[in-house]
Chain A
Amino acid sequence: MTPKLPLADCTGDCSHPEVARRDFLFAAGASLFVVSIPGVGIAQGKRADYPKKKVALLSKLKKGEPVEFRYPWDHANCGTVLLKLGRVAGGGIGPDKDVVAFNGLCPHMGWALPAKAFRADPGIAGPCAGHLTTFDLTRHGTVVSGHATQGLPQVVLELDGDDILAVGVLGLLYGFHDNRAEPK
């Protein structure tokens, strides 16, 4: 079976000629199978935009040495691990398209994936200590093997000179109902 490819090819950084990266990442699926009955949307109300946060300097990164920060909020569930993989990754930035960042809670049942569980070689996070789920850091955090009902949420990065900025999240953070609703 050779299925039709749903979206345009993504060969590394998922950049797209027609739209800016952020638009692409967040809008690509917007017209898809989310809302099932015509005219009935998920009431979203007014939602804050993702904060733009400087999280690291590209020049300081070393392959396999994680940088930890919280994003998008200063909340226990928002622990994020940024890693230079040394190999091209989906959503990767930098000259080698190899710098990626992911949330550090396993979306299976919320167990913490410590920074040391993020391994540049072979580009995997996990196995989660809870139930052994592993995630592919080169492929947008998709489950390699295991039980999570979504991939590991990928924190979207942008480069501004040497500054690495976190600008959004792909996927819902564990424990959240809305990434953009600031925890009280």
Chain B
Amino acid sequence: MELPLYERRDRVPLPPKGATVRTTGCAYCAVGCGYKVFTWPVGTEGGPAAKDNAFGDNFPTGFEGVWVGPNQHTVVSVGGKPHHCVVIPDPDATAVNPGGNHSIRGGTLALKCFTATGPTKDRLQFPQVRVRGKLVRVGWDTAIEAMAAVSKHVLAKYGEAAWGMKTYSYEFFENTYAITKLAFESIKTPAFAVHDKPSMSNDTAGIDDAGIITFSAAYEDFKAADVLFVSGTDPYESKTVVFTEWMMRSKAKMIFVVPRRTMGVAHAESKGGLFLQIVPGTDALLHMALARVILERGWEDATFVREWVAGAWEIDSGFGRGSRNTPWQWRTTWGDIGAVDFAAYKKWLLAYEPAALEFAAKETGIPKEQIVVAARVLSGGGGAAERPKATFLFEKGNYWSNNYANTASMASLALLCGSGNRPGRAVSRLGGHQRGWMGAAPYPREKSPERLPGRRKLELDLDRWVEKGEVRFLWVIGTTWTGAMTASQELARTVRKLTVASDHQPTSDKKDDIVAALVRRADAGGMVLVDSDLYPVNPLNTELADIVLPAAGWGEHDGARCNGERRLRLYPKFYDAPGEAQPDWWAVARFARAMGFAGYDWSDGNAVFEEAARFSRGDVLDYYPLVWRARRDGKTGHDALRALGTTGIQCPVRHEDGKLVGTKRLHDSTLKLADPEGPTTHAKWLTAFNTHSGKALLVKSPWELFADFYARIKPDPAKGELWLTTGRINEFWQSGFDDLRKPYLAARWPTNFVEVHPDDAKPHRIESGDTVRLTNDDVLIQTGGFNRVEADELRFSWLEKNGHIRIGKGAVEAVALVTPAVVRGVLFGYFLLPPNPFNALAHRVPDPITGNYRYKLGKAKLARTGESPYKADRRFLSFHRRDVVG
């Protein structure tokens, strides 16, 4: 892909009075700011006088007025006719981004839209089939019927687990509902995973096991807190407005636990906050040491523990420790982890060697004194009459390293500080993407061939299943798949062998020829690959996929989803999708009908939305009362949601006192509920924790489950190895599929970067602006271990000893940014820019308890390869530090 050119325009057309105005939500991060879209026919324009434009403002506007930047305008097709299109943050927003605050991503949403001659012109527009190695255009009927014929063959001959899906989890309820209806209800395949993990396991099982629902907080909690413990993320760089609008405006002292000094960290420090600069992978040790300091000194919230932490009787009564025969129950009854009462937890932690302050200081790199100070700030140090309100926020730097122990230990720490069920005292994920998952049926765990010790069925690791050659047909929807998973290049190599390197390739675009070749491929042990996406994706659909389907995206169909505080909004269609692109629910329905499945006759997105509402009942994102009420009022569900604009309504939606009521936060012990009306359900976790007793559980976090793997992957400085950790920056969303097509952002980041500490750069004579190559010839990849029997089989050392680990390779290139912002011994880069995502250098050995990858614990050797043109060319990049304050 060639990067677009950036022209700095000095004029933008204003929407005239009468321009069509719609509200929508941002397409990108979990915060989901509210936006307004103005469209009007080309050939007309508003004027600078208030009476002549849609804003009713005189231009130039002042500080309070509305403004449209040049990158907030584009030209789109509406009903086949060219229209101006302006997308700006909603100046009238009252929720999320009041007054029109925005990020650099959302602020440039207009440039996301398809334009026939602009940088987005390479959108996929028609179904294609790879014939003799080259994609050729076919009709939807040919593509879908070929998929169905091959699928029927694979299902009949090899069973459900040979038919897989890999999909986003968030691109609107309408799509995810249709996808899960197909996969879990109609086909019942266990070979299914979402975009950011290899299996359908919990993201943050340690938090879940404590009885805390991960998106429980409201953004106003972040303003109301006295202390914000922020672990494994800088929301300034990745969920911007939650930081700039809510956290930054709070008086809270922030404690950041990250390996890099970013802008959010610098701001926190300038306001008296703490920066715990942690060695990647050691968060559990820090949490346990903090908890130990608190317990040793009696700084815990004894009242809260007495009232809200389950005692032995509550743990053991009924199903006490989670739903019966689920991984939740197994974990919380297992001796090494198991939920225990406060006295038992205290006894365990005070005697547990890895929880000692000295051990934590040595392994985390955080001085002992700083850990004690942090414990005092979090707990109030026992002195104050009123404890500080502490809120615990976390993301993937925390839970994508030592997944179970990091999240379990953080939950226990938070509970000891009295957090989790009151305003300003939240325990919550901040989120990556928005919450757009609406499952039509449960994942069929009983069909999974993967087992935990004790022969307990575990969600299947799809990547490992593919590596094993067990998947004969795979449909990927809206994810880069190989790049988004660890050991990316190795996974791509595997997929290449199974697909394009097969002897069996279609030789014409006739349906029968396509089907015959692909069935022969499946029977020969290969895999048939279908990909639905917006753009060409290297290598997934440019090189590997057999059938490529064009998807309609944001702004091209009506869709609904929630943000990181469970706020449901409508994201309406406002312009024409390109070519024959269709929303994914439409393609799924078309395929399901071709398969002969019933129940896929939806007339439009609203029909899917209304059907899906019934399946949301009783869950966190329950919006059934909204649809129920809409029907009583003679409206569609989508129209009822449309009327709520950028404010939307926070799920679960309730109907009380004759009206719809949103739920600000979960586990809110201060919430007063009125009588439930209509289909409203009052789940226990609205006012208590998500356990059988309603009280939170203390769970242990044994370091031993991780220690042997950690010792194996630790970089060896003598070999020139460094940690390679990854994350987000404001200017990119996911794979940069939009951003690299936004000329402004492509000029800012024409290529990936790697932050290098000056001490690590010096031996290689690397300066900012040099090109570097990062290699890892020691990428660990788990290949087997599907069926584990004894407890010690969870350990990495058992996998290695029994031949379930192979060693692969990865190499990526980037421009160096030499900066002391990153801790010595650690490299940092963006995780997912094709074609060489840094994920390629991270190991593919998932957490044995939860099946999540340890993305943030990659390893690399560094070599200087030359000098980038950007060193001298000042139109691109910037080599200044990003953590400059004051």
Which residues in A have some Cβ–Cβ distance to B below 8 Å?
A: 1-7, 9-12, 14, 28-30, 32-38, 40, 42-44, 47, 75-77, 88-90, 107-111, 122-124, 126-127, 130-132, 134, 136, 138-140, 142-151, 153-154, 169-181, 183-184
- Given the interface pairs A43-B13, A169-B10, A174-B67, the reply to whether A132 lies near B874 with Cβ below 8 Å is no
**Alpha-carbon gap, A179 to B885, bound state (A):** 31
Chain B contact-residue range equals: 35 or more
Question: Which residues of B in the span 871-886 have a Cβ within 8 Å of any Cβ on A?
Answer: 872-878, 880-886
Chain B 36-64: CB-based contact to A (< 8 A → 1; otherwise 0): 00000011010010000000000111110
Residues of B within 8 Å of A127, CB to CB, are 263, 884-886
19 contacts between A and B (CB under 8 A): A2-B751, A3-B750, A7-B875, A12-B874, A29-B5, A30-B7, A33-B5, A36-B118, A37-B75, A40-B82, A42-B13, A77-B60, A122-B884, A127-B886, A142-B747, A149-B744, A172-B11, A181-B48, A181-B59
Q: Decide: B10 and A11 in contact? CB cutoff 8 A.
A: no
Which residues in B have some Cβ–Cβ distance to A below 8 Å?
A: 2-14, 42-43, 45, 48, 59-63, 65, 67-72, 74-77, 82, 100-104, 107-108, 115-119, 236-237, 240, 244, 248, 263, 267, 730-731, 743-744, 746-748, 750-752, 813, 833-836, 869, 872-878, 880-886
Output the nearest chain B residue to A88 by Cβ-Cβ distance. B874
**Alpha-carbon gap, A177 to B5, bound state (A):** 22
- Given the interface pairs A131-B244, A173-B60, the reply to whether A1 lies near B836 with Cβ below 8 Å is yes
How many Å from the CB of B291 to the closest CB on chain A? Answer: 33
- Report whether over half of chain A's contact residues are helix, strand or loop; otherwise say mixed: loop
**Alpha-carbon gap, A144 to B267, bound state (A):** 15
How many Å from the CB of A38 to the closest CB on chain B? Answer: 6
For A30, A32, A38, the residue with the greatest tally of chain B CB atoms inside 10 Å of its CB is A32
Residues of B within 8 Å of A178, CB to CB, are 10-12, 48
**Alpha-carbon gap, A144 to B730, bound state (A):** 10
Out of A3, A126, A176, which one reaches B3, CB within 8 Å? A3
Extra contacts besides A12-B874, A33-B115 (7): CB < 8 Å: A28-B7, A34-B7, A43-B13, A127-B885, A134-B880, A172-B70, A175-B60
How many Å from the CB of A178 to the closest CB on chain B? Answer: 4
How many Å from the CB of A23 to the closest CB on chain B? Answer: 14
**Alpha-carbon gap, A2 to B867, bound state (A):** 12
How many Å from the CB of B53 to the closest CB on chain A? Answer: 8
Q: Decide: B8 and A34 in contact? CB cutoff 8 A.
A: no
Q: Decide: A171 and B65 in contact? CB cutoff 8 A.
A: no
How many Å from the CB of B115 to the closest CB on chain A? Answer: 3
Residues of A within 8 Å of B74, CB to CB, are 36
**Alpha-carbon gap, A43 to B874, bound state (A):** 31
- Given the interface pairs A35-B75, A37-B117, the reply to whether A147 lies near B874 with Cβ below 8 Å is no
- Given the interface pairs A127-B884, A175-B65, the reply to whether A140 lies near B874 with Cβ below 8 Å is yes
Q: Decide: A149 and B108 in contact? CB cutoff 8 A.
A: yes
Q: Decide: A124 and B884 in contact? CB cutoff 8 A.
A: yes
Residues of A within 8 Å of B836, CB to CB, are 1
For A33, A35, A38, A153, the residue with the greatest tally of chain B CB atoms inside 10 Å of its CB is A33
Q: Decide: A131 and B248 in contact? CB cutoff 8 A.
A: yes
Output the nearest chain A residue to B63 by Cβ-Cβ distance. A110
Q: Decide: A146 and B104 in contact? CB cutoff 8 A.
A: yes
**Alpha-carbon gap, A117 to B258, bound state (A):** 28
Residues of A within 8 Å of B116, CB to CB, are 36-38
Output the nearest chain B residue to A30 by Cβ-Cβ distance. B7
- Given the interface pairs A6-B6, A180-B11, the reply to whether A75 lies near B875 with Cβ below 8 Å is no
